[in-house]
Structure 1
Amino acid sequence: MKTLLVRGYGPEDRIRLEDAAIPEPSAGQVRVRVRACGISFVDLLLARGGYQVRPPTPFVPGSEFSGVVDALGDGADGRLRLGDRVCGTRMGAWSEYICIPQSLAFGLPPQADLIEASVLLAPYLTSLYALRSRAQLSPGETLLVLGAAGSVGHAAVQLGKILGARVIAAASTDTKRSSALAAGADAVVDTTGDWKAAVKALTAPGGVDVVYDPIGGDATDAAFRTLAWGGRHLMVGFAGGEIGVLKSNLSIVKGASLVGVDARQAGERTPALMHALRTEVLALHGQGRIRPLVSHVLPVERFDEAAEKTNDRAGFGRVVFTFDDGARQDP
């Protein structure tokens, strides 16, 4: 089988496509023939040794996948059968075949698009957990989404509308803002200008109820200042490359809260909650109410090109690579 491998963290090391033996599922596992994998900025950061966690080398990177069950280990309870379409998130996803506990393979309808499914769970589960469980976003409230053309931002725009909010999307280009409007945003602001003033004008006289912030840096302070009394600022990540600094008196002046979002820890600490949210995400996708935005689909042999497109800050939408020659792909 084909697999992507990191052999070291030195300056000349990179993610390499190699051949490996097809694994056999252990008791309680299923083997998935992987058809498609998503690439995220965090995946690449971890693979290059720049993340807060550094797995011992060599290791298979990646975290998002979709595919078809092709073998069952002893003790499989019948929840999944051979030929079932599944998706999931796990470390070491970037291999043509993976063996995982049955509980980590989530069934999809027979007609499910495996390209979309490969980039479904991570952004939408994070965003639903953030908006519903952490911010308790209510119908009629105003939601400001920073980085609205990114994967989690795009998910937050769609889910914010489903939860009944008025959604304002912040993005840096006309194309990205048009994408946010197509995803359901009620209004957009240009982050290359005085977007804080624009948001305040759109939400006068009250302000924003919830900020969804995967960007960090200076944007965090500016967005916090748009909050209404009792507002909640969701700190999701730092895609901008810097950790923002807030003056603590702002939380008193606005009666507002800075709320951390860590879906990974939530999965470990509150598994029942995250299972319920994951089930809801899969149902919403099955109903056609949410759709990941996929910008490029490339074969695994063009992984370096796919990684380059993922790192392109001017681009938007998810980059997916496939192990399936029959999958739809970029020319």
Structure 2
Amino acid sequence: MKTLLVRGYGADDKIRLEDTSIPEVAAGQVRIKVRACGVSFVDLLLARGGYQIKPPTPFVPGSEFSGVVDALGDGADGRLAPGDRVCGTRMGAWSEYICLPQELVYPLPPQADFVEASVLLAPYLTSLYALRSRGNLLRGETLLVLGATGSVGHAAVQIGKILGARVIAAASTEAKRAAAMSAGADAVVDTTGDWKAAVKALAGPGGIDVVYDPIGGDATDTAFRTLAWGGRHLMVGFAGGEIGALKSNLSIVKGASLVGVDARQAGERTPALMNELRTEVLALYQQGRIRPLVSHVLPVERFDEAAAKMNDRTGFGRVVFTFPDGPQ
């Protein structure tokens, strides 16, 4: 089978496509024939040694996949059967066959698109957890989404509308702002200008109730200053490459909160909650109420090109690669 491997960290090391043996399925596991995988900023950061977690090498990177059940280990409870379409998130997803506990495999409707399903759970689960569980976003409140055409930003626009918020999307180009409007945003702002003033003008005298921030850097300080009294600033990530700094007096002046969002740790600490949210995400997708934005689909043999497209800040939408026999 084809597998992407990281054999060492360093400036000259690359994620390499290699031939490896198909894994044996153990008791309680499901083996998946992977059809499609998403490429995320965090995936590439971890694979290149730039993340706070550094797995021992060699290891298989990647975290998002969709595919078909290929085999069941002893003790499978019948919830899944060979041929079922499934998706999931797990470390080591970038391999043509993967084995994992059956409780970490999630069934898809028969008509589900493998490409879309491969990039469904991570961004939408993160956004639903952030906006509802961490930000307590209420119907009628105003939500500002930074990086609105990135994977989690695009998801946050759609989830924000489902939760009944008025959504203002921030993006740097006309094409990105058009994509945010297509996703359901009520208004957009151009982040290449004085966007703090533009946000305040759109928000009105009340200000922004919740900021969804996967960008970091200087954008964090700017966005925090648009918050209303009692506002919540959700810190989701640092896709801009820099960790922003805030003057702590701002939280007093605004009675506002900086709230950290870490869906990975939440899955470990509050698994029941995250399973409920994951079930809701899958239902929303089946109902057609959410849909990932995919920009490029490439075969795994062109992974380097896929990674380069993911790092192109002028583009937007998810980059997905596929293994042989997929997608269908």
- 8 Å CA contact 2:231–2:255 kept in 1: the answer is yes
Corresponding letter in the other structure for 2:301: E
CA distance in 1, matches of 2:146, 2:12: 35
Corresponding letter in the other structure for 2:272: A
- 8 Å CA contact 2:227–2:256 kept in 1: the answer is yes
**Corresponding position of 1:240:** 240
Asked if 1:80 corresponds to 2:80, the answer is: yes
Asked if 1:152 corresponds to 2:155, the answer is: no
Asked if 1:36 corresponds to 2:54, the answer is: no
**Corresponding position of 1:127:** 127
Q: CA separation of 1:133/1:326 partners in 2, compared to 1, >3 Å: closer, same or farther?
A: closer
Task: Using the TM superposition, give the Cα deviation of residue 12 of structure 1 relative to its aligned residue in structure 2, in angstroms.
Answer: 2.4
TM-score (norm 1): 0.98
Map Cα deviations across residues 261-292 of structure 1 (whole Å, 9 max, x no partner): 00001001100000000000000000110000
**Corresponding position of 1:202:** 202
Map Cα deviations across residues 88-132 of structure 1 (whole Å, 9 max, x no partner): 000000000000000110000011011000000000000000000
Equivalent position SS for 2:82: coil
Asked if 1:45 corresponds to 2:45, the answer is: yes
CA distance in 1, matches of 2:209, 2:10: 45
Corresponding letter in the other structure for 1:193: G
Give the 4+ runs in structure 1 shifted more than 4 A: none
CA distance in 2, matches of 1:23, 1:106: 20
- Of 133-142 and 6-15, deviating more is 6-15
CA distance in 2, matches of 1:261, 1:296: 28
Task: Using the TM superposition, give the Cα deviation of residue 229 of structure 1 relative to its aligned residue in structure 2, in angstroms.
Answer: 0.6
Equivalent position SS for 2:241: coil
Task: Using the TM superposition, give the Cα deviation of residue 326 of structure 1 relative to its aligned residue in structure 2, in angstroms.
Answer: 4.7
- 8 Å CA contact 2:36–2:326 kept in 1: the answer is no
How many residues are paired up?
328
The share of aligned pairs that are identical, in percent, is: 85
Task: Using the TM superposition, give the Cα deviation of residue 50 of structure 1 relative to its aligned residue in structure 2, in angstroms.
Answer: 1.1
- 8 Å CA contact 2:5–2:61 kept in 1: the answer is yes
**Corresponding position of 1:171:** 171
Runs of at least 5 residues in structure 2 that lack an aligned partner in the other structure: none
Asked if 1:25 corresponds to 2:41, the answer is: no
CA distance in 2, matches of 1:159, 1:271: 21
CA distance in 2, matches of 1:214, 1:327: 30
RMSD: 0.8
Q: CA separation of 1:152/1:28 partners in 2, compared to 1, >3 Å: closer, same or farther?
A: same
Equivalent position SS for 1:112: coil
**Corresponding position of 2:108:** 108
Task: Using the TM superposition, give the Cα deviation of residue 10 of structure 1 relative to its aligned residue in structure 2, in angstroms.
Answer: 2.9
CA distance in 1, matches of 2:326, 2:248: 54
Task: Using the TM superposition, give the Cα deviation of residue 11 of structure 1 relative to its aligned residue in structure 2, in angstroms.
Answer: 2.8
CA distance in 2, matches of 1:58, 1:243: 29
**Corresponding position of 2:278:** 278
CA distance in 2, matches of 1:276, 1:68: 23
**Corresponding position of 2:61:** 61
- 8 Å CA contact 2:35–2:66 kept in 1: the answer is yes
CA distance in 1, matches of 2:13, 2:66: 27
Corresponding letter in the other structure for 1:125: L
**Corresponding position of 1:318:** 318
**Corresponding position of 2:5:** 5
- After TM superposition, list the pairs within 5 Å mapping 1:230-309 onto structure 2: 230-309=230-309
- 8 Å CA contact 2:39–2:310 kept in 1: the answer is yes
- 8 Å CA contact 1:36–1:324 kept in 2: the answer is no
CA distance in 2, matches of 1:159, 1:57: 37
CA distance in 2, matches of 1:220, 1:279: 31
**Corresponding position of 2:94:** 94
TM-score (norm 2): 0.99
Runs of at least 5 residues in structure 1 that lack an aligned partner in the other structure: none
